[in-house]
Structure 1
Amino acid sequence: MAGRAYRPPPPTAAQRIAWPDDFGTRFTVFVDVEEEFDWHAPLDTRNRATTAMAAFPDAHRRFAERGVGLTCMVDHPIATDPASVAILSRVVEDGRSEIGTQLHPWVSPPFATATTPGDSYAGNLPAALEAAKLATLTTAITTAFGSAPRAYRAGRYGIGPRSFDLLARLGYRIDSSVRPGYDYSADSGPDFATADAQAYRVGDVVELPLTTVFTGRARRGGALLYRALSYVPKGRGAFARAGLLSRIALTPEDMPIDAALEAVAVAAGEGLRLLNLSFHSPSLVPGHTPYVRDAADLKRFHTWWTTILDEFDRRGIRNASLNEIIAALG
């Protein structure tokens, strides 16, 4: 396990992606397609249940009817479960969805040591073990779905200093592990507190950060102000309630729709060309994540997506499939 938090180096101007003019402003949806587990309990290699996948076809239908492709970031329990593979194989028949990779080290072989909180972030693992887990999972996905995955996300956003080189060697084109504005160092994870939402190149791999937007009258202070407020007792809450500064991730999971709509307005107004939204597949069934605990939460979850997709339609922000994104990158 690494002794200090990994902080991705800020990209240079030359590393920033200059999207083609005809790409416009687009949005994409990445889904962490994974097993079910108690988010508040210690991680356990035996947690490999995938019963929530029964709800995935209906969720996919809701997106497909709107012309929205899903990049399905599958982990080892999903890739080795025949029922889940059958479901996702039908999903990608829509011509816009695609299978990607998500590495949960605690359920992905080979297993060399007992899992500690720090080792749950793949980028903290010894180089050989991170490489072996990624190669094993990539092979499992390729075997299950008949083609090699092109997009990757580290479970728990646990990218590390060697991860991009490992991804490039295996032919990955896209990483989406960076979560701007979030700092996981207290749990031995990476620190993305001062990262931003713009796409950039790291060697042969393009980083597509999940979209986080700072809203409020003091939003120009952004990540630095938000980090400074962490040292002030109840500072972040006070600023949010006063309408000065809020950190908004574009996900229905614990993000109110009104806040998300404001974040879309800010992102579009400030020229962010690709908005990257996400959710976890177990949220499709009540009781599996902290975000969807009952039927009322599930209804809010689906309403959130309907409202945000309506807003994208109103603004002329079109969906971008993974294939379209890679084509635009050249």
Structure 2
Amino acid sequence: MEKRYKTPDNTVNLIISIDVEEDMPDWKAQDQTTVRNIAGISRLQDLFDEYGIKPTYLLTSPIAEDKDSVSVFLPILKSNRCEIGSHLHPWTTPPVNAAEKDKLMLPSNLDERILREKLINLTGSIRDSFGMAPVSYRAGRFGFNKSSALILRDLGYMVDTSITPLRSWENINGPNFLYDRIEPHFLNEKYGDDSLSELVEVPVSIALTKNLTGLLKRLYLTLPKVTRIRGLLSKDYLNIIDMIWLYPVLYTAEEMTRLSDILVGRGNRVLNMFFHSNEIKVGESIYHKTERDIAGFYDKLKYYFDYIFSRYRVQSRTLKEYRNYFIGERT
């Protein structure tokens, strides 16, 4: 098949960024925090090893503070088969109050002092458990803002992957990323603060199936959800335009390969897939209720990996590795 991408070195960078978090069977904070889903990591890592993929595991506090969980990730880290980063859930990261737990509060809605304290504690927990400070981050529920970026800068972080282009979270009092850039960039370009010129944003891979620009794009993104995402204009109805995420839980293998071809065809050199660790074990999220569901999820990953590795010249990189590559391109 003809390769449609336009890259100087013919390389497509594959990033797998996984939110490694506590069990959330009904997508709510549990009275008693458990981390049973970590039992599924070994099988997942075996699949990554088969393809030579180095994932980035972004850990919440309950994972970083659980000795059994740490014992799963530590050998993978020590053998240079993954990166360990951080993922902030305010409702499980000390100091915790009842309101954060009840509302599953977004980090971007926290008082700046509390946000800083939580990020310090999360970063410290990972450092204590793994002997290294994390440098990659994703905000829980994508609750990211300038205050978060400035605190990450102060704590020595190098990469964020919280931004979801073409998507607003205002319905849950979160940030609006509708018009954010799809390609990686320095965060000073978003926030106009030169002190963020070393902090790289690697957005989750999302795209429209038609390359709308200007007014047409703005009109589409502001349409009611019933019309837009999985609505009247989607493949399920009129088949005019869709929005696809590189998220194997909610999208088919065919949709994800289509998304990847679209992004690479438009000159993007990065494919950033994300999902949650509790989605790889039966009953620990709102998805995948049976072992058959889990088997289907793995089949989907294999189909996708087989496709992109055969179609493109793919280089798997962790978030930190990609950040170094990204900066190296510009020096």
Pairwise same-fold verdict (TM > 0.5): yes
SS for the counterpart of 1:229 is coil
Matched residue, 2:35? 50
Give me the whole-angstrom Cα distance separating, in 2, the residues matched to 1:228 and 1:125: 27
Q: Deviations over 1:47-72 (max 9, x none)?
A: 42001111111110110111000100
Deviates more, 1:319-328 or 1:74-83: 319-328
Asked if residue 31 in structure 1 is aligned to residue 18 in structure 2, the reply is yes
Q: 1:169 aligns with which of 134, 154, 159?
A: 154
Shift of 1:139: 0.4
Residue equivalent to 1:247: 243
Contact in 2 for aligned 1:36/1:47 (Cα 8 Å): no
Q: Which one-letter code corresponds to 1:306 in the other structure?
A: K
Alignment of 1:5-20 (within 5 A): none
Query: Larger deviation: 220-229 or 251-260?
Result: 220-229
Identity fraction in percent: 27
Closer, same or farther: CA 101–63 of 1 in aligned 2, 3 Å: same
How many residues of Structure 1 are paired with residues of Structure 2 in the alignment?
Answer: 306
TM-aligned CA deviation for residue 186 of structure 1: 1.0
Alignment of 1:88-107 (within 5 A): 88-107=73-92
Query: After superposition, what is the alpha-carbon deviation per residue over 1:26-48, rounded to whole angstroms, capped at 9, x for unaligned?
Result: 1110011010023444x35x442
Residue matched to 1:324: 321
Matches within 5 A, 1:299-318: 299-314=295-310, 315-318=312-315
Pairing 1:88-237 to 2, within 5 Å after superposition: 88-112=73-97, 114-115=99-100, 120-202=105-187, 203=196, 204-215=198-209, 218-221=210-213, 223-230=217-224, 234-236=227-229, 237=231
Deviation of 1:194 after TM superposition, in Å, equals 2.1
- The CA RMSD measured in Å over matched residues stands at 2.0
Shift of 1:213: 1.4
- Contact 1:37/1:47 (CA < 8 Å) preserved in 2? no
1:288 Cα offset (Å): 1.5
1:214-246, Cα deviation, whole Å (9 max, x unpaired):
11xx44257524323227x54541211322111
Deviations 1:254-299 (A, max 9, x none): 1111111111110110011111111111111111122322122211
State the Cα deviation string for residues 167-222 of structure 1 (Å, max 9, x = none): 0000000000001122211111111122232111121211100000111xx44257
* Cα distance in structure 2, aligned partners of 1:168 and 1:47: 33
SS in 1 for 2:74: helix
CA distance in 2, matches of 1:297, 1:225: 37
Matched residue, 1:7: none
Distance 1:89 1:199, change over 3 A: same
In structure 2, the CA distance between the partners of 1:95 and 1:179, relative to structure 1 (3 Å rule), is same
CA distance in 2, matches of 1:159, 1:108: 16
One-letter identity of the residue aligned with 1:308 = Y
Relative to the length of structure 1, the TM-score reads 0.87
Aligned AA (2:16):
V
Tell me the secondary structure at the aligned position of residue 101 of structure 1.
strand
Do 2:221 and 2:228's aligned partners in 1 also have CA atoms closer than 8 Å?
A: no
- Residue 99 of structure 2 aligns to a residue whose secondary structure is coil
Segments of structure 2 that go 5 or more residues without pairing to the other structure are 1-6, 188-195
State the alpha-carbon separation in 2 of the partners of residues 157 and 303 from structure 1.
27
User: 1:15 corresponds to which residue?
Assistant: none
SS in structure 1 of the partner of residue 287 of structure 2: coil
When normalised by structure 2's length, the TM-score is 0.87
- For 2:222 and 2:320, locate their aligned partners in 1 and report how far apart those are by CA, in whole Å: 39
- Structure 2 CA distance for aligned equivalents of residues 228 and 275 of structure 1: 26
Local SS of the residue matching 1:308: helix
